[in-house]
Amino acid sequence: MGSSNIATITISGHGKRPSVSSGDLTPAVLLEFAQYCRSYFDEKDIPEEGRVARPVLFCFKDVRISTYVSANQSVLGALTFDAFLNRIRDNFLPHDWADTLRADIFRATQGRDQPWRDYANKVARDNALLTLSDDGALPESRIMEQLKSNMSEHLRSKLRPITIPKTIQIGGEEVAIPLLQWTEFIARYDDDLRFELKRAREIADDVHRNAKRQNTGSSSSASNDRRSRPAGSAPKAGRLPALTENEIKLLNEHQGCRKCREFYAGHYSKTCTGNFPSATGYTELTLAKALEAKKKSNAKSSGSTTVRAAAIATLPDSDDEEPVVTAAAVNTITPKKNRVHLPARKELLGRWDMTGQLYNDVSDPVPVENLYWDAHVFGVDEFPTPVTTMLDNGAGLVLIDDDWATTLGLRRFPLRNPPTIGAAFTSNASAVPSHFVRLSVTSVDHAWTSSVVNAVVVKNLCVPILLGLPFLVENEIIVDHSARTAIAKNNNYDLLNGLRQSPLNRLTSLLVNRQKHTPRSRILQLRNDWANMLTELLQRTAHRRLALRGLSGSRCRNAAIAAVNKIVRDKAAAIQRAELEQRLLREYEDVFSPPSSVENLPSDVHARIRLKDPNWSMPSRTYSCPRKYRDKWKELIEEHLAARSYPAILIPLRFPIVCDPEGGSHCEATLGQ
């Protein structure tokens, strides 16, 4: 299978027989040939039991295969297609091709820079080729275990806190997750990991490029001056000496700036806003100065970290006094880092002591970022106001800054028993708030809204709104400090990260919603919404409609009185119309009276008509008819005669005719008056 002269397949159109060119036959080519042949059988509507090898015997252009087929045409033509495929496989594929594919599957590992999809697709493609073997392909569960065991270490570490689903809801039934969806679930996290690595490499390249540009930007004379100066040599008066190679190395190792020449300056020469040091009194940078600057930087960072009051604890001062609500330090403000933070060795492999033993019981003496949550709050404005809040499960109250309460225009209520709020440090003074407000917080995507909670108004709060334990308890929010999540139990919504739903579940719910939201269901929903909207509109505009009908303002105040008044007026108008109708009938009785009956008609004879021959019959007459209508008219007349349904001929007479057969051929006609 390693030859470069591999056969290819060409096909003239859909449902046509494939053609295999000359060359070495591989399992992939044979599997593709089988798929095209089955498509040909389906296009010709050939049933499964009738699919024989005769129509596709001469699809191979290779001399060896065509010679073999020609020599055994009678035998191969009578075989089924699957049996013919097995004959070609056994005669023209290597004898150990299936074992080689299984070995490739078991040896396959995800490369360092290889995407997860490429690795998984290669294994799945090799496993699909095993369907041609007698043992068949490996089960999907075995492929999942193989892929998971040989994935890259970076992806494995990213998936360690993630629970990969084992089942999925399809059609309302819980089934084992298919290999395709399982692979796609992991691929989403692999895409995130590759994007992070790509971004980190770009930033590292930029830093390296800037450092290289600074190193090579100096003149040749400056590079000569960077050589180690002899001991005891002094620079020229009034001129700052150039940095030596040793000084540049120290500045790079101790986060120094090449412009102001300070160790642990917190910036680089490109962003430095200071000036070059003075040439007078300048001394060469040494390792002792770097270590001293490092010690000062550590002391400054640990001592100058700004911490404001946020977390709250209720501590009784004594048995007789009221409890004091103490605010602990949580709002940590750390200096900005201009350098990209990459995971250190101890973060990936753990912390090691001097003897080489691993220990994890001591944390780093650095602050952790607070749990900030960007949300919306409705105030006096028509639109929601964006605000930054902070979640704190150590606070016993919900606090809001005085300025923000005024900006939002929230109504203030006095506190009956105001608590005493003090800082976590005994040296700070305590404060007694006097008012509280009621507020509700909504997520930015409006997917989650909290319950209404009471927030105490304080001054000089570190954040606009501090959401303490009352907020977390009322809304049943679970805070995970390690994972930095705040999940609401009612709908599994994560306040800090949005909806906590796996990509697979989102895909499944999207498919279910698409099935539910058909055009017919949308039309029905629009009709229901339209009816509800009209009902609400009628209720809201009832007073306006009453006012337009001429009702006074006092009547409009009570809809029930207006309705009774309308009913009474309608009843009175109906009675008045009935009385008027009876009076008109009595006044014009001769016009509206019913006509006389048949018995009351007059019987006087005013004229007598005699017939010349009462037995005379009228001769029949025939009329010419087009030939194309003759047969249809004949059928129609015969149908009427058979049904004895003669059309009644109505002769409008203004007087009755009476025939007297005994007295002669005459008839009497009675004229009406």
Average pLDDT over residues 271-280: 80
Give the pLDDT confidence score for residue 669 in this predicted structure.
42
- Domain spans, the chain: 9-95, 98-194, 218-228+240-303, 307-340+350-516, 602-612+628-673
Give the tokens for residue 236.
């020229």
pLDDT tens digit sequence for 623-640 = 677 777 878 888 888 888
User: Is residue 271 left, alpha or beta, with left meaning phi > 0 and alpha meaning psi from -120 to 50?
Assistant: alpha
What is the model's pLDDT at position 508? 65
pLDDT score of 298 = 72
Cα–Cα distance for residue pair 204/210, rounded to 1 Å: 10
Q: How much is the pLDDT for 48?
A: 84
- State the pLDDT at residue 398: 92
Give the pTM: 0.35
The CA distances from residue 307 to 299, 325, 333, 654, in Å, are 16, 18, 7, 118
Q: Where is pLDDT greater, at 256 or 429?
A: 256
Q: Between 110 and 622, whose confidence is greater? A: 110
Categorize the per-residue pLDDT at 575 as very low, low, confident or very high, splitting at 50, 70 and 90: very high
What per-residue confidence (pLDDT) applies to 4?
Answer: 60
Among 56-60, 214-218, 354-358, 541-545, top mean pLDDT goes to 56-60
Q: What does the alpha-carbon distance between residue 391 and residue 394 come to, in Å, rounded to a whole number?
A: 9
Whole-angstrom CA distances from 137 to 98, 147, 485, 646 are: 10, 15, 42, 84
- Report the percent of the chain where pLDDT is more than 70: 74
Q: Is residue 417 a contact partner of residue 409, using CB atoms and an 8 Å limit?
A: no
Least confident piece of the model among 213-217, 432-436, 508-512, 535-539:
213-217
Backbone φ, ψ for residue 431 (5° rounding): -135, 150
pLDDT value of residue 579: 93
Is the pLDDT assigned to residue 70 strictly greater than 60?
A: yes
Mean pLDDT of the chain: 76
Mean pLDDT of 600-613: 79
E-assigned strand segments in 269-321: 306-315
Residue type at position 607: A
pLDDT of 288-319, one tens digit each? 888 888 878 777 655 444 444 444 444 444 44
Instruction: Please give the full DSSP string across 439-466, using - where no structure is assigned.
Output: E-EEETTSS-BPPPEEEEEESS-SSSEE
Q: What counts of helices (H) and strands (E) characterise the chain?
A: 22, 24
346: pLDDT strictly greater than 60: no
Q: Is the dihedral of CA 108, 112, 114, 117 positive or negative?
A: positive
- Compute the distance between CA of residue 606 and CA of residue 597 in angstroms, rounded to an integer: 22
Q: Yes or no: say if 28 and 129 are a contact pair by the CB < 8 Å rule.
A: yes
Q: State which CATH number among 3.30.870.10, 3.30.2230.10, 3.30.565.10, 2.40.70.10 fits the domain covering 307-340+350-516.
A: 2.40.70.10
SS3 315: strand
Q: What is the pLDDT of residue 215?
A: 55
Alpha carbon distance 185, 508 (integer Å): 12
Q: Is 450 helix (H, G, I), strand (E, B) or coil?
A: coil
Task: Please report which helix (H) or strand (E) contains residue 594, including its range.
Answer: none
Q: Which residues pair with 669 in a beta bridge?
A: 607, 657
